[in-house]
Amino acid sequence: MNIAVIGLGLIGGSLLRALAGAGHQVLGFDADPAVRATARDAAARLPARARWQVTGTIRDAAAEADLVVLAVPLTALHQVLDALVSSGFHGLLTDVTSVKGPVREAVALRLSRAANPVVGYVGGHPMAGRETSGFASSDPALFTGCAWVLCLDNGVSLDDWLTLATLFTELGARVVPATTEEHDRAVASVSHVPHLVANALAACAADDLLALTLAAGSFRDGTRVAATRPELVGAMCGGNADAVREALDELRERLDQAAKALDQRDPVRAVREWVAEGHAARRAWPPDPGRPERVPAQADTLLRLGRAGGWITTVAPDRRTVTGFLPVRTV
């Protein structure tokens, strides 16, 4: 497959490496000339069959591609989409952005204007973030075992979806079918709100020097993602504001209950009872993957699998079935 990767940061760079390593013809582009030079140098050190090429423009990368993967931040997306549309690209498009609603809207807006409409768009999101970023941190094994959401909204071609599911499962990812709304709600709760909370915890201790010296494991881990660049946190939380607001409200209600537990006459007992639910949930995570099952490659079946916490690991060559896992709940 001829694949163009636009944006060569942590995710784009890792994808460039992984796809080239899997035998695809891969072209990469990054807006930063220094990143392009680094990516070119890295390719030159590889055996010829595992090399990628780096182009000087989006047009050169995308014009002949079967698939374009957008791996740029949400803030750069509109500009890159404009360049893509004017390049004459008319293949399959996906992205790796951490919020899916705004990308779907931006793509729909551009496609309606394009002279050569993109054949298909399937929103994607590999859950493979790290607190480090940039091509220097990229790693072809980044996607091994990682959950990779592919959005299967109404109107998305199942064939396009299965093309991407095949490609990413072959890189070792666990492909999770979900709608755009389901994705954005889920990541608000398990990724975006945890980022806000980490920041709030770190800010609370900022001026207490004794506390910062006493801070140990619970502070270190609870605030780790506060080291993420503020632009990224702003883009992902602000770009998913409605779902994040809702998930944050649920967290705030739970913390209101914690405050009430502390006010009880027997706060030791009240707090112990209050923490039981979160304790059980954390002990049951990550879920036991269960046994592999073969299920029909149909949109409703796939979405049901995703809603139940499942994922797929292979697409059958005839594309009629997929092999999926449905985790076993232990609570």
Point out which span in 42-50, 52-60, 175-183, 293-301 binds a copy of itself (CB under 8 A): 175-183
Shortest Å distance, C-beta 139 to a copy of itself: 14
50 lies in the binding site for a copy of itself (CB under 8 A): no
Point out which span in 6-14, 103-111, 132-140, 268-276 binds a copy of itself (CB under 8 A): 268-276
By beta-carbon proximity to a copy of itself, the closer residue of 167 and 225 is 225
Name 68's Cβ contacts closer than 8 Å, sequence gap at least 6: 3, 4, 5, 6, 61, 62, 84, 89, 91, 92, 93, 94
Structure tokens at 100: 């899916």
Q: Write out the binding residues for a copy of itself, residues 133-172 only, by CB under 8 A.
A: 146-147, 149
Q: Write out the binding residues for a copy of itself, residues 180-219 only, by CB under 8 A.
A: 182-183, 185-187, 189-191, 193-206, 208-219
By beta-carbon proximity to a copy of itself, the closer residue of 157 and 189 is 189
DSSP β-ladder status, 92-95 and 120-122: parallel
Contact flags string 234-263 toward a copy of itself, x per CB under 8 A: xx-xxx-x--xx-xxxxxx-xxx-xx-xxx
Name which position in 72, 93, 226, 297 contacts a copy of itself (CB under 8 A). 226
Shortest Å distance, C-beta 101 to a copy of itself: 13
Shortest Å distance, C-beta 163 to a copy of itself: 22
Q: Which residues of 109-138 are buried (b: 16+ CB within 10 A; e: fewer)?
A: ebbeebeeebebbbbbbbbbbeeebebeeb
Q: Write out the binding residues for a copy of itself, residues 52-81 only, by CB under 8 A.
A: 74-75
By beta-carbon proximity to a copy of itself, the closer residue of 24 and 290 is 290
Q: Write out the binding residues for a copy of itself, residues 300-329 only, by CB under 8 A.
A: 306-311, 327, 329
270 lies in the binding site for a copy of itself (CB under 8 A): yes
Shortest Å distance, C-beta 55 to a copy of itself: 30
Distances (CA, A) of 282 to 226, 257, 275, 313, 331: 21, 19, 11, 25, 10
Amino acid at 286: P
By beta-carbon proximity to a copy of itself, the closer residue of 267 and 292 is 267
Q: What is the DSSP string of 272-293?
A: HHHHHHHHHHHHT-SPB---EE
By beta-carbon proximity to a copy of itself, the closer residue of 279 and 294 is 279
268 lies in the binding site for a copy of itself (CB under 8 A): yes
Shortest Å distance, C-beta 87 to a copy of itself: 27
Cβ proximity of 313 and 327 under 8 Å = no
Point out which span in 14-22, 27-35, 225-233, 294-302 binds a copy of itself (CB under 8 A): 225-233
By beta-carbon proximity to a copy of itself, the closer residue of 88 and 285 is 285
Distance CA 329, CA 314 (A): 23
Instruction: Please report the sign of the dihedral spanned by the C-alpha atoms of residue 267, residue 273, residue 279, residue 281.
Output: negative
> In the chain, helix, strand, coil percent, each to 5?
50, 15, 30
Distance CA 149, CA 122 (A): 10
Query: How many Å is the maximal CA-CA distance in the chain?
Result: 72
Distances (CA, A) of 135 to 17, 76, 279: 10, 17, 37
Q: How deeply is 25 buried, as exposed, middle or buried, from its count of CB atoms within 10 A (0-12, 13-18, 19+)? A: middle
Contact flags string 272-301 toward a copy of itself, x per CB under 8 A: xxxxxxxxxxxx-xxx--------------
Distance CA 28, CA 191 (A): 28
Give the binding-site size for a copy of itself (rule: CB under 8 A). Answer: 111
